[in-house]
Every structure is written in structure tokens, then in C-alpha cells.
Amino acid sequence: MTWASILAVTDGAAGSDAAMAAAIDLGQRFGARVDFLHVANDSSDLLPYVGEGMSATALEQVMASVEAGNARRREAVEASFKRLCADLPKVQPEESVPAGSFAVSLNVVTGRQPEIIERLGRLSDAIVMPHPGLTESDMTTSIDAALFGTGRPVIVVPDQTKKGFGAKVAVAWDGSREGALAAAGALPLLRKASEVVVVTAREDSDVVEPSALARYLAGHGIEAKTWAYTPAGESIAEGLLGQVERTGADCLVMGAYGHSRLRERILGGATEGVLQKSRFPVLMMH
């Protein structure tokens, strides 16, 4: 199993270049095609919300503002694509590429970004997305759509991500379904890593042994070390990220939303906290 097709979402904002560069890096390492996706807003989607009781002049101004924003973001995306992919092999989005061949494409469409990510992401092996704090669009909703609607590993990339990330990977293990899916979905990345560390928090009466996941990974030819810690008074996300930094890992693999999204948003949780605070790429699955 490998990654042959990578979908990378970009909106032209500050975080997009980092996500695009990370996707190119992965595509070159795996010999995969990389499809950059940019979704422009459909101004007609606003009509049910702003049309009622609004004068024709005001409505025209709103629509013009949406189109101006679309044009500005598209120009930024195309400039980044031209700069980052100047010397790379290119294909059209509808073209096929031979197995094991690296190539890039730019697909600019109009519509609702979460729905389009779900549709295209289901036929990709991995989805690369910019950190939600570095974008103009509602990237958090789009990340949720990718996690819940595609069944694919989603890699969220912060700014200043180094080329070759994934040399040392930490895998958060809590025995959950989501954690198991993430570990399995990350197998192509883990096989290329020079070191893998399974990180487990010891808490409550449940005993989750990191060695269990290490044995599973060994069956796939991956030698993993184990790292167990006892949480202090910090949040789950802070504790986990602190331990990952102590291991020296440059990438984290973890399950996403073991509890409902609403509960995590209201009460706080590992997924939301890691997405907000991680300074290295995070591969998640739900």
C-alpha cells in the first residue's frame, strides 16, 4: 500500500503555500500525483441569506464583492502554483498518470468547498490541508468534511513545515477505533520514517499498552519504540503535544474526534486543541 494520489486544498492565503509545498514534497517522495484544489465561492449561494429585503443595488454590491474576492484568491493561488511548480511535470485534472509517476495539477472550481473536498477526497489516498489559523476560508469546516466525509487520512500543515517531514513520527495511541484507523492510514508514511514512536497516556483505570500497537506495526515491517507518560494538570492536547516534542518527532499521527465535534468544541478536546496549537504536521483520521 502506498499513496498514489494526493489532494491538496489551497485558498491563496498565508497558510496555503506551506500546504502546497508539503504536498509537493510528499508527491515526490511517494511518486504520486498531486492535485491542488481551489474552490471559489458561488455568489448565488448567498441569495437565500442576503436577498430578502435588500435593494437591487445593495445586492449587486454584495455579489461584486464576492466575485472580487474570488478573483483575488484565484490570482494568489495561480501565482503560488506557478512559483512552486515551475519546473515540475504537470497534467490536467482529468488526465491520468502512470503508476509511480509524480505530477501536479491545478483544479479551480466553483461551489461549496466542504462538499467538493468530500467528493474529490474519496478518490485520493491522502488529503493535505493548510492550518485553519492561516487561511481566509472556513478551513475548520472543510477539515471536518475531509475527516468525516472521505475516510482518508487528512494531513494538516502549519506554516514553516520543513521539507522531508515525517523522518521521525509520533503515533498517539489510546486504543480507540479512531487511533487504529489513523495508524493504519499512516502506514505509507511510517514505512518511510527513520524512527517511529508510539505515545500513550496512562490515565484512569484503563491500561492501554503502546506495545500492542508496536506489535501491529512490526507486522508491517515498521519498528516502533514506545513512550508512555502520566498526564499532569494540563489539557489533553497540551500534554500530548509536549510529549511529542520531547520525543523529537516532526510529525504526529492521531485519531480525530473520539467524542462528538459539538462536545469537543464546547468542552475542549484533543482534536481541537492539537489543530489549534500544533507546530508540526498532524495526520488525522476519524
pLDDT tens by residue, 191-206 = 999 999 999 998 765 6
Specify the higher pLDDT residue, 136 or 264: 136
150 and 194 assigned to the same domain: no
Residue 54 belongs to some domain of the structure: no
87 and 29 assigned to the same domain: yes
200 and 132 assigned to the same domain: no
125 and 201 assigned to the same domain: no
Query: Which of 106, 133, 157 is the last residue in one of the domains?
Result: 157
Query: Which of 124, 157, 190 is the last residue in one of the domains?
Result: 157
88 and 24 assigned to the same domain: yes
Confidence at 245, pLDDT banded by 50, 70, 90: very high
What's the CA gap between 247 and 229, in Å, rounded? Answer: 12
Confidence at 268, pLDDT banded by 50, 70, 90: very low
Count Cβ atoms within 10 A of the Cβ of residue 60 and give its class: 0-12 exposed, 13-18 middle, 19 or more buried.
exposed
Q: Which CATH number goes with the domain that contains 203?
A: 3.40.50.620
Task: Provide the strand spans (E) within 11-167.
Answer: 33-40, 103-110, 126-130, 154-157
20 and 130 assigned to the same domain: yes
111 and 146 assigned to the same domain: yes
Residue 118 · residue 152 · CB < 8 Å: no
146 and 33 assigned to the same domain: yes
Of the candidates 254, 229, 255, 253, the one whose C-alpha atom is nearest the C-alpha of residue 242 is: 229
Neighbours of 122 (CB within 10 A): 14
pTM across the whole model: 0.92
What's the CA gap between 83 and 63, in Å, rounded? Answer: 30
Query: Which of 99, 122, 157 is the last residue in one of the domains?
Result: 157
**Count: domains in the chain:** 2
CA distances from 155 to 65, 92, 218, 265 (A): 32, 24, 23, 20
* 132-174 pLDDT tens trace: 887 777 788 999 999 999 999 999 999 989 999 999 999 999 9
108 and 14 assigned to the same domain: yes
29 and 150 assigned to the same domain: yes
Confidence at 265, pLDDT banded by 50, 70, 90: very low
153 and 15 assigned to the same domain: yes
User: What would the mean pLDDT of 173-180 be, rounded to a whole number?
Assistant: 94
Q: What is the residue-averaged pLDDT of the chain?
A: 90
Residue 56 belongs to some domain of the structure: no
- Sign of the C-alpha dihedral computed for residues 224, 152, 203 and 205 taken in this order: negative
* 44-78 pLDDT tens trace: 766 555 556 667 787 788 788 889 999 999 999 99
* 2-33 pLDDT tens trace: 999 999 999 988 889 999 999 999 999 999 99
pLDDT of residue 261: 53
Confidence at 213, pLDDT banded by 50, 70, 90: very high
- Any idea which of 46-50, 113-117, 211-215, 264-268 has the lowest mean pLDDT? 264-268
User: What would the mean pLDDT of 69-89 be, rounded to a whole number?
Assistant: 96
Q: Which domain holds residue 223?
A: 168-285
